[in-house]
Amino acid sequence: MELRKFIKTTIREYLNENRFEKRDEEQYKSCLMSDLTRMELIDMFFDKVNDNPEYNIEEPNYFKLIDDWNGYDDQVYIQNNLSENEFIFWEGWVDECWKGLYFKPEYKGLNKIESINKVIKERFPRIGEEFGYKIKDFNYFKHKGKFVMKVVFSK
């Protein structure tokens, strides 16, 4: 099992070598690394949709959103609903996500629901603006005891 984790981690690192290129650009210096990660994933999503307009048109597998080893990269799935001028950003929140979030002073003392609301309302508008989208709707729910966040962006 340890070999499997090593191989998967190594492959992820290789495939993601060019991620976070934006962090040194002036307009991104105020962005948190997790938000830059989200922007990079959305950027990669649009590249894949350009190659295949049917890419990710189905809803995500919720188990893959909350499995940090065998699930989606970064526990994120971006659903293609561009035929309706929108895309849906799904993110599973595993223990490591909460640890990272609660390390930031502005989230200390907040419960998980307050924290997710704060992340969506205060950080996701900037993420959407990067691609010319606005938040249309959002929701969150528990799946197998872990939170899943859903943010719908529209033109």
Decide which of 28 and 71 is more confident: 71
The predicted structure's pLDDT at residue 36:
87
- CA distances (Å), 63 to each of 10, 33, 46, 72, 85, in order? 23, 25, 24, 9, 27
Handedness of CA 142, 154, 89, 102 (dihedral sign): negative
pLDDT, tens digit, 9 for 90 and up, residues 85-143: 999 999 999 999 999 999 999 999 999 999 999 999 999 999 999 999 999 999 999 99
Q: Could you give the 3-state DSSP secondary structure of residue 96?
A: helix
- Check residue 33 and give its pLDDT: 80
User: Closest Cα to residue 140, out of 109, 108, 107, 118?
Assistant: 118
pTM of the predicted model as reported, rounded to 2 decimal places: 0.83
Mean per-residue pLDDT for 67-95? 94
Provide the pLDDT for residue 32.
Answer: 74
Q: Minimal CA–CA distance to 43: which of 132, 110, 117?
A: 132
Q: Which amino acid is at 57?
A: I
- Residue 34 or residue 149, greater confidence: 149
Q: What is the pLDDT of residue 23?
A: 54
Which residue do the tokens 């959103």 mark?
A: 65
Q: What pLDDT was estimated at residue 12? A: 56
Count of CB atoms within 10 A of residue 137's CB?
11
Question: Is 111 within 8 Å of 101 (Cβ atoms)?
Answer: no
Answer for the pair 145, 65: CB distance below 8 angstroms, yes or no: no
User: Are 106 and 121 contacting, i.e. CB atoms less than 8 angstroms apart?
Assistant: no
pLDDT tens readout for residues 8-60: 566 555 555 555 555 556 556 566 788 888 999 999 999 999 999 999 999 99
Domain ranges of the chain: 2-154
